[in-house]
A and B are shown apart, each in its own frame.
Chain A
Amino acid sequence: MAWKILLHEGGRCLSIGSACLLLLAAITSKAQESTPESADPELSPDKDKRQRHWAFQPPRSAGAPKVSNTAWSRSFIDSYILAKLEENDLQPMADASRATLVRRLYFDLIGLPPSPRQVQSFIDDPAPDAVARLVDHLLASPRFGERWGRHWLDVVRFAESSGREFNFTYPHAWPYRDYVIDSFNADKPYDRFICEQIAGDLLPEDAYEAAEDREDRLVATSMLSFGTKRHNSGGMAYRMEIVDDQIDITCRAILGMTVACARCHDHKFDPIPTRDYYSLAGIFLSTEPLYGTIQQKYSNNPTDLLPLGPKGVELHAAAEEHEKTVGSSKKSRDEKKTELTKAEEAKKEVAKRESALEETAKKEKAAKKEVDVKQVAEKSPDAGPEVVEVKEAPPEQSTTGEELKKATGERKALEEKIARLKTELAQLEAGVVELEKNRPARPPYAMSARDRPDPADTKVAIRGELSQPGDLAPRGFLTAFPAPDVPAIDPGQSGRLQLAKWMTSRHNPLSARVVVNRVWHHLFGRGLVESVDNFGITGTPPSHRELLDAMAVEFMDDGWSIKRTVRRIVLSRTYQLNCATNEKNQKIDPENRLLWRSTPRRLPVEIIRDAVLAVSGQLELEPPAGSPVTALGDQLVRGVDTKKLQPPSNHRSIYLPVIRDYAPEMFDRFDFPSSSLVSGKRAVTNVPSQALFLRNSEFVAGQAKHAARRLLADSSAADDAGRIDLALRWTFSRPATAEEREEALKFLEQIRNPGTEVDDRDAIAWAALFVSLFSTAEFRYLVDIGE
Chain B
Amino acid sequence: MSLEPENLSRRNWLKLGSCGFGSLALAGLTGQGHAGPQTPRAPHFTPRAKRMIFLFMNGGPSQQDTLDYKPKLFEEDGKQGKNKQKLLAPLWKFSQHGKSGLWISELLPHLAKQADHLCVVNSMQTDSRAHPLAIPQLHTGSFQFVRPSLGAWVLYGLGSPNQNLPGYVTIKPTRTFGGPSNYGNAFLPSAYQATRIGWEGQPVKDAKIGNLSNKEAGPEISGKILDLSQSMNRRLLQRSGRDPEVQGVIDSLNLSNNMQEAIPQVLDLARESPETLKLYGVGGKDTDDFGRQCLLARQLVESGVRFVEIANSGWDQHSALDTALPKRCREVDQPIAALLIDLERRGLLDDTLVFWGGEFGRQPETQILSGKVAVGRDHNAAGYTIWMAGGGVRGGLVHGTTDDLGYEAVHDKVHLHDLHATMLHLLGLDHTKLTYRYGGRDFRLTNIHGHVVEGLLT
Tell me the A residues contacting B by CB distance below 8 Å: 1, 4, 8-9, 11-12, 15, 18-23, 26, 163-167, 228, 232, 252, 258, 261, 525, 530-531, 533-534, 536, 538-540, 579-581, 590-591, 600, 602, 637-638, 661-662, 665, 668-669, 671-674, 676-679, 681-693, 695-697, 701, 704-705, 739-740, 743-744, 747, 750-751, 764, 767-769, 771-773, 775-778, 780-781, 783-784, 786
Cβ of B369 within 8 Å of any chain A Cβ, yes or no, is no
Contacts of A689 on B, CB cut-off 8 Å? 166, 191, 195, 211, 256, 259
Contact between A778 and B256, CB atoms less than 8 A apart: no
Contacts of B7 on A, CB cut-off 8 Å? 525, 683-684
Contact between A686 and B248, CB atoms less than 8 A apart: yes
A228, chain B: closest CB distance, angstroms: 7
B391, chain A: closest CB distance, angstroms: 27
Q: Whole-angstrom distance between the alpha carbons of A534 and B4 in the complex?
A: 10
Q: Whole-angstrom distance between the alpha carbons of A201 and B64 in the complex?
A: 57
Q: Whole-angstrom distance between the alpha carbons of A66 and B136 in the complex?
A: 57
Contact between A697 and B136, CB atoms less than 8 A apart: no
Cβ of B225 within 8 Å of any chain A Cβ, yes or no, is yes
Contacts of A693 on B, CB cut-off 8 Å? 211
Report which of B9, B135, B178, B214 forms a contact with A701, defined as CB distance below 8 A.
B214
The 6 closest A-B pairs by CB, nearest first: A691-B256, A165-B132, A686-B248, A683-B189, A683-B5, A777-B249
Cβ of B2 within 8 Å of any chain A Cβ, yes or no, is yes
Contact between B245 and A688, CB atoms less than 8 A apart: no
Contact between B6 and A747, CB atoms less than 8 A apart: no
- Starting from the known contacts A8-B133, A638-B179, 5 additional A-B residue pairs (CB-CB under 8 Å) come to A165-B135, A662-B179, A685-B8, A687-B252, A772-B225
Contact between A701 and B448, CB atoms less than 8 A apart: no
Contact between A672 and B190, CB atoms less than 8 A apart: yes
Q: Whole-angstrom distance between the alpha carbons of A743 and B229 in the complex?
A: 11
Given A26-B442, A701-B214, A163:B146 Cβ within 8 A: yes
Report which of A164, A539, A744, A767 forms a contact with B178, defined as CB distance below 8 A.
A164
Q: Whole-angstrom distance between the alpha carbons of A705 and B214 in the complex?
A: 13
Query: Contact string, B14-41, partner A, CB cutoff 8 A, digits 1/0?
Result: 0000000000000000000010111000
Contact between A740 and B191, CB atoms less than 8 A apart: no
Cβ of B113 within 8 Å of any chain A Cβ, yes or no, is no
Cβ of B181 within 8 Å of any chain A Cβ, yes or no, is yes
Report which of A232, A530, A600, A686 forms a contact with B252, defined as CB distance below 8 A.
A686
Contacts of A23 on B, CB cut-off 8 Å? 441-442
The closest CB in chain B to the CB of A586 belongs to: B241
List 18 A-B residue pairs with CB atoms under 8 Å apart, sorted by A's residue number.
A8-B144, A18-B448, A19-B448, A21-B448, A163-B146, A165-B178, A581-B241, A591-B11, A674-B146, A677-B187, A683-B189, A686-B36, A687-B252, A692-B256, A747-B228, A775-B229, A776-B232, A776-B249
Contacts of A166 on B, CB cut-off 8 Å? 132, 177
Contact between A697 and B146, CB atoms less than 8 A apart: no
Cβ of B447 within 8 Å of any chain A Cβ, yes or no, is yes
Contact between A165 and B133, CB atoms less than 8 A apart: yes
Contacts of B128 on A, CB cut-off 8 Å? 4, 8
Contact between A784 and B215, CB atoms less than 8 A apart: no
The closest CB in chain B to the CB of A163 belongs to: B146
Contact between A602 and B225, CB atoms less than 8 A apart: no
Contacts of A539 on B, CB cut-off 8 Å? 440
Contact between B224 and A677, CB atoms less than 8 A apart: no
Q: Whole-angstrom distance between the alpha carbons of A783 and B215 in the complex?
A: 31
Cβ of B240 within 8 Å of any chain A Cβ, yes or no, is yes
Q: Whole-angstrom distance between the alpha carbons of A578 and B231 in the complex?
A: 23
Contacts of A19 on B, CB cut-off 8 Å? 441-443, 447-448
Contacts of B240 on A, CB cut-off 8 Å? 579, 600, 783-784
Tell me the B residues contacting A by CB distance below 8 Å: 2, 4-9, 11, 34, 36-38, 127-128, 130, 132-133, 135-136, 143-144, 146, 163, 166, 175-181, 184-191, 193, 195, 210-217, 221-222, 224-226, 228-229, 231-233, 235-236, 239-241, 243, 245-246, 248-253, 255-256, 258-260, 438-443, 447-449
A122, chain B: closest CB distance, angstroms: 21
Contact between A772 and B146, CB atoms less than 8 A apart: no
Contact between A776 and B8, CB atoms less than 8 A apart: no
A49, chain B: closest CB distance, angstroms: 18
A773, chain B: closest CB distance, angstroms: 8
Q: Whole-angstrom distance between the alpha carbons of A701 and B256 in the complex?
A: 16
Contacts of B259 on A, CB cut-off 8 Å? 688-689, 692
A767, chain B: closest CB distance, angstroms: 7
A-B interface pairs (CB < 8 A), number? 257
Given A4-B130, A15-B449, A695:B190 Cβ within 8 A: no
B252, chain A: closest CB distance, angstroms: 5
Q: Whole-angstrom distance between the alpha carbons of A258 and B4 in the complex?
A: 14
Q: Whole-angstrom distance between the alpha carbons of A743 and B231 in the complex?
A: 9
B143, chain A: closest CB distance, angstroms: 7
Q: Whole-angstrom distance between the alpha carbons of A573 and B458 in the complex?
A: 63
Contact between A778 and B236, CB atoms less than 8 A apart: yes
Contact between B8 and A1, CB atoms less than 8 A apart: no
Report which of A1, A661, A767 forms a contact with B184, defined as CB distance below 8 A.
A661
B146, chain A: closest CB distance, angstroms: 4
B192, chain A: closest CB distance, angstroms: 9
Contact between B4 and A530, CB atoms less than 8 A apart: yes
Q: Whole-angstrom distance between the alpha carbons of A692 and B253 in the complex?
A: 8
Given A20-B441, A677-B146, A784-B240, A688:B250 Cβ within 8 A: no
A764, chain B: closest CB distance, angstroms: 7
The closest CB in chain A to the CB of B193 belongs to: A668
The closest CB in chain A to the CB of B417 belongs to: A15
Contacts of B38 on A, CB cut-off 8 Å? 687
Report which of B221, B236, B448 forms a contact with A22, defined as CB distance below 8 A.
B448
Contact between A688 and B256, CB atoms less than 8 A apart: yes
A212, chain B: closest CB distance, angstroms: 35
Contact between A767 and B216, CB atoms less than 8 A apart: yes
Q: Whole-angstrom distance between the alpha carbons of A783 and B187 in the complex?
A: 28
Contact between A540 and B439, CB atoms less than 8 A apart: no
Contacts of A676 on B, CB cut-off 8 Å? 146, 181, 186
Q: Whole-angstrom distance between the alpha carbons of A164 and B137 in the complex?
A: 12
Given A530-B2, A744-B228, A771-B217, A638:B236 Cβ within 8 A: no
Q: Whole-angstrom distance between the alpha carbons of A15 and B444 in the complex?
A: 12
Contact between A688 and B252, CB atoms less than 8 A apart: yes
The closest CB in chain A to the CB of B233 belongs to: A777
Given A783-B236, A784-B239, A531:B191 Cβ within 8 A: no
Contact between A228 and B36, CB atoms less than 8 A apart: no
Report which of B225, B246, B441 forms a contact with A781, defined as CB distance below 8 A.
B246
Contact between B189 and A685, CB atoms less than 8 A apart: yes
Report which of A12, A684, A692, A705 forms a contact with B211, defined as CB distance below 8 A.
A692
Contact between B439 and A534, CB atoms less than 8 A apart: yes
Contact between A167 and B225, CB atoms less than 8 A apart: no
Contact between A678 and B439, CB atoms less than 8 A apart: yes
Contact between B228 and A772, CB atoms less than 8 A apart: yes
Contact between B260 and A692, CB atoms less than 8 A apart: yes
The closest CB in chain B to the CB of A8 belongs to: B127
Report which of B178, B181, B228, B253 forms a contact with A691, defined as CB distance below 8 A.
B253
Contact between A12 and B448, CB atoms less than 8 A apart: no
Q: Whole-angstrom distance between the alpha carbons of A673 and B438 in the complex?
A: 13
A257, chain B: closest CB distance, angstroms: 8
Q: Whole-angstrom distance between the alpha carbons of A20 and B442 in the complex?
A: 8
Q: Whole-angstrom distance between the alpha carbons of A682 and B438 in the complex?
A: 12
Contacts of A740 on B, CB cut-off 8 Å? 232, 235
Contacts of B251 on A, CB cut-off 8 Å? 686
Contact between B228 and A692, CB atoms less than 8 A apart: no
